[in-house]
């Protein structure tokens, strides 16, 4: 039995920021992850590789738009080269993380799968046998995994793992992609592949894609998506089969049995938390969304923290990083909840083409809570940068409390959404008001001008 100050189960965004902070404070740290590399699913099959592909789609779209505005030349995708670019980014970032790890003396990254033996003991199954650790502190950050529903033939579908992992399974552009699931992964992937030239049919069980997002924002986004993405809602998929073309999907819609044929099927019905063996047995409560935690991210055992996707609160990489640091601070404070994660101001971007982003309270949440909002507006139709880019759809909405005009939330649809929502989120998390935003000289000619102008639309 080896002794460590901190063991992290997983080496993703919920784990490594704390691991580094504690190692720098002189604690001995072991991170355990079956991948044997740092960064979890974000770099392996999530945010980074998908955005590497998205940027190619953005450039392709822009090039097409500018074909009669001074840009000419090839406007075709070389899928294999694009994958090579994606793989190279992943490899480069893995190298960078390896160097970061090597620079800190008291951290070890152990390739293996961890399981709890007791509240202070963790066993790790590695390729060469089992190692056991006595841990003063534990951060449970085992993340989430693709959920495979019990549909006959589900194994014939690809998942985001198969599209985005290094050296992915999907190596060429399909003619017709069928996506099961209208969450952000399904919809983003649908729009990238459509931009590359594929026909896409997206099958969504409910009546709205992007379940959980403000319906008014979804209603503005969907008409702007590539017409090669056909969205069918109210679909109950009953089976996936092999067919001459590739795959056949059978489903029920409006009381009728229907079917579709495509080259491949992407199963994207969601992700679920990964709960390491022994978690429940040692008395850690696991609810519907994941491991249950208190405000300081502690489980029922004050020395065991659960950060990131595993607690299901806000399953986004940047939220996991912040949670990891909160756990580190509370560990350094002697397992007192001195620091707290702010789950109400985490910017969320759906990186479709165009993107939609939101933060804080939006109108449907306000309505559900019986709250009134005052809305500041700015449309990209009047925006200089949007006009230069010929992307004038969408705009910025800021939602303020009627009493005092404190910024409670906002959304951005269209250009630079993923960037702008960060500034809006920072303002909301800092308690700024419409007056504060209105008197800030946002830089010209950037889309950030729209934030000040949306605030000034109230005065
Ligand atoms: P987060 O961003 O919440 O940290 P990720 O899903 O990116 O989540 O990373 C979690 C990591 O934890 C993944 O690399 C996953 O392989 C790893 N993991 C999952 N289960 C275990 C386990 N039992 N032992 C060690 N690592 C695990």
| pLDDT value, residue 8 | 98
Cβ of residue 19 lying under 6 Å from some atom of ligand 1 = no
Q: 25 to each of 99, 103, 104, 206, how far by Cα in Å?
A: 19, 14, 11, 49
Residue range 378-405: average pLDDT?
Answer: 97
For 267-285, what is the mean pLDDT?
A: 97
Prior bond of 445 cis (ω within 30°) = yes
Please tell me the predicted confidence (pLDDT) of residue 29. Answer: 98
Closest Cα to atom 21 of ligand 1:
142
144 CB near ligand 1 (under 6 Å) = yes
Ligand 1 atom closest to residue 145's alpha carbon, by position in its atom list: 6
Is the distance from CB of 285 to CB of 292 less than 8 angstroms?
yes
pLDDT of residue 74 exceeding 80, the answer is no
> Measured from the CB, is residue 229 less than 6 Å from ligand 1?
no
Give the pLDDT confidence score for residue 357 in this predicted structure.
98
State the maximum Cα–Cα separation within the chain, in Å, rounded to a whole number.
Answer: 69
Contact 414, 395 (CB under 8 A): yes
10 lines ligand 1 (CB under 6 A): yes
At residue 275 the predicted structure's pLDDT band, cuts being 50, 70 and 90, is very high
Q: Give the CATH fold of the 148-269 domain.
A: FAD/NAD(P)-binding domain (3.50.50)
Query: Mean pLDDT score of the chain, rounded to an integer?
Result: 97
Q: What is the pLDDT of residues 207-245, one digit of tens each?
A: 999 998 999 999 999 999 999 999 999 999 999 999 999
Residue 72: its pLDDT value, please? 83
State if residue 35 touches ligand 1 by the CB under 6 angstroms criterion: yes
Give the chain's radius of gyration (CA, Å).
Answer: 23
Judge if the beta carbon of residue 332 lies within 6 A of ligand 1.
no
Ligand 1 lined by 290 (C-beta under 6 Å): no
* d(CA 114, ligand 1 centre) in Å: 10
Query: Which atom of ligand 1 lies closest to the CA of 144?
Result: 6
Probe ligand 1: pick from 12, 19, 117, 312, max atoms within 8 Å of CB?
A: 12
Q: In the structure, what pLDDT confidence band is assigned to residue 118 with cuts at 50, 70 and 90?
A: very high
Q: What are phi and psi of 376, to 5 degrees?
A: -100, 140
Task: Confirm or reject: Cβ of 57 under 6 Å from ligand 1.
Answer: no
Whether residue 9 has its Cβ less than 6 Å from ligand 1: yes
Between CA 303 and CA 336 the distance in angstroms is: 10
Got the DSSP string for 415-437?
TTHHHHHHHHHHHHHTT-BHHHH
Asked whether the predicted pLDDT for residue 443 surpasses 90, the reply is yes
* Check whether domain 354-456 has CATH 3.40.50.1580, yes or no: no
Q: In this structure, which residue's CA is closest to atom 17 in ligand 1?
A: 10
What CATH number should be reported for the domain whose range is 2-47+84-144+272-344? 3.50.50.60
Picking from 290, 266, 340, the residue whose alpha carbon sits closest to that of residue 10 is: 290
Q: pLDDT tens digits, residue range 78-115?
A: 999 999 999 999 999 999 999 999 999 999 999 999 99
Query: Beta-carbon neighbour count of residue 80 at 10 Å?
Result: 11
8 pocket-lining for ligand 1 (C-beta < 6 Å): no
Domain residue spans of the chain? 2-47+84-144+272-344, 148-269, 354-456
Q: What pLDDT does residue 75 have?
A: 79
Residue 35 CA to ligand 1 center (angstroms) comes to: 9
Contact yes or no for 248/388 (Cβ under 8 A): no
pLDDT of residue 59: 94
What is the model's pLDDT at position 143? 97
Find out whether the beta carbon of 14 lies less than 6 Å from any atom of ligand 1.
yes
Task: List residues bridging with 349 in a β-sheet.
Answer: 357
pLDDT of residue 422: 98
148-269 and 354-456 share one fold: no
Q: What tens digit of pLDDT does each residue of 8-55 get?
A: 999 999 999 999 999 999 999 999 999 999 999 999 999 999 999 999
Q: If you average pLDDT over residues 247-256, what whole number do you get?
A: 97
Cα–Cα distance, 277 to 78 (Å, whole number): 43
Distance (Å) from CA 392 to ligand 1 centroid = 40
- Give me the pLDDT at residue 73, please: 74
Identify the pLDDT of residue 46. 96
Give the side-chain half-sphere CA count within 13 A for 388. 8
pLDDT of residue 153: 97
Model confidence band, residue 281 (pLDDT cutoffs 50, 70, 90) = very high
Ligand 1 centre to CA of 41 (Å) is: 7
């Amino acid at each position: 039995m080896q002794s460590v100050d901190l063991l992290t189960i997983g080496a993703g965004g919920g784990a490594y920021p704390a691991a580094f902070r504690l190692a720098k404070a002189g604690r001995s740290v072991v991170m355990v992850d079956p991948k044997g590399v740092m960064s979890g699913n974000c770099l392996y099959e999530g945010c980074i590789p998908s955005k590497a592909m998205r940027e190619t789609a953005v450039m392709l779209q822009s090039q097409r738009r500018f074909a009669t505005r001074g840009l000419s030349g090839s406007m075709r995708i070389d899928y294999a080269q694009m994958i090579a670019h994606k793989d190279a980014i992943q490899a480069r970032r893995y190298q960078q993380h390896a160097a970061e790890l090597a620079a800190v003396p008291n951290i070890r990254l152990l390739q293996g799968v961890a399981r709890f033996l007791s509240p202070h003991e963790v066993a790790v199954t590695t390729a060469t046998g089992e190692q056991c650790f006595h841990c003063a502190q534990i951060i449970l950050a085992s993340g989430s995994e693709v959920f495979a529903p019990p549909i006959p033939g589900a194994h014939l579908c690809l998942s985001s793992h198969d599209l985005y992992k290094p050296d992915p399974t999907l190596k060429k552009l399909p003619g017709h992609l069928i996506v099961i699931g209208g969450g952000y992964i399904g919809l983003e992937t649908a729009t990238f592949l459509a931009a590359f030239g594929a026909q896409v049919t997206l099958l969504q069980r409910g009546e709205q894609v992007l379940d959980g997002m403000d319906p008014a924002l979804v209603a503005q986004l969907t008409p702007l998506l590539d017409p090669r993405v056909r969205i069918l809602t109210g679909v109950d998929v009953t089976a996936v089969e092999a067919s001459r073309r590739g795959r056949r999907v059978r489903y029920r819609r409006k009381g009728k049995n229907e079917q579709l044929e495509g080259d491949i099927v992407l199963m994207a019905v969601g992700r679920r938390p990964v709960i390491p063996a022994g978690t429940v047995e040692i008395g850690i409560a696991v609810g519907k969304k994941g491991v249950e935690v208190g405000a300081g991210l502690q489980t029922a055992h004050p020395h065991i923290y659960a950060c990131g996707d595993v607690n299901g609160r806000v399953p986004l990489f940047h939220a996991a990083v912040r949670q990891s640091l909160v756990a580190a601070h509370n560990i350094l404070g002697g397992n007192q909840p001195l620091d707290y994660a702010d789950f109400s101001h985490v910017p969320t971007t759906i990186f479709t083409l165009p993107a939609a982003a939101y933060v804080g309270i939006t109108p449907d949440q306000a309505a559900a809570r019986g709250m009134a909002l005052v809305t500041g507006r700015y449309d990209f139709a009047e925006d200089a940068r949007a006009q230069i880019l010929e992307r004038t759809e969408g705009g910025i909405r800021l939602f303020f409390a009627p009493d005092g005009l404190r910024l409670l939330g906002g959304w951005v649809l269209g250009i630079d959404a993923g960037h702008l929502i960060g500034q809006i989120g920072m303002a909301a998390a800092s308690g700024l008001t419409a007056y504060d935003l209105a008197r800030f000289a946002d830089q010209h000619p950037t889309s950030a001008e729209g934030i000040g102008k949306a605030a000034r639309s109230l005065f």
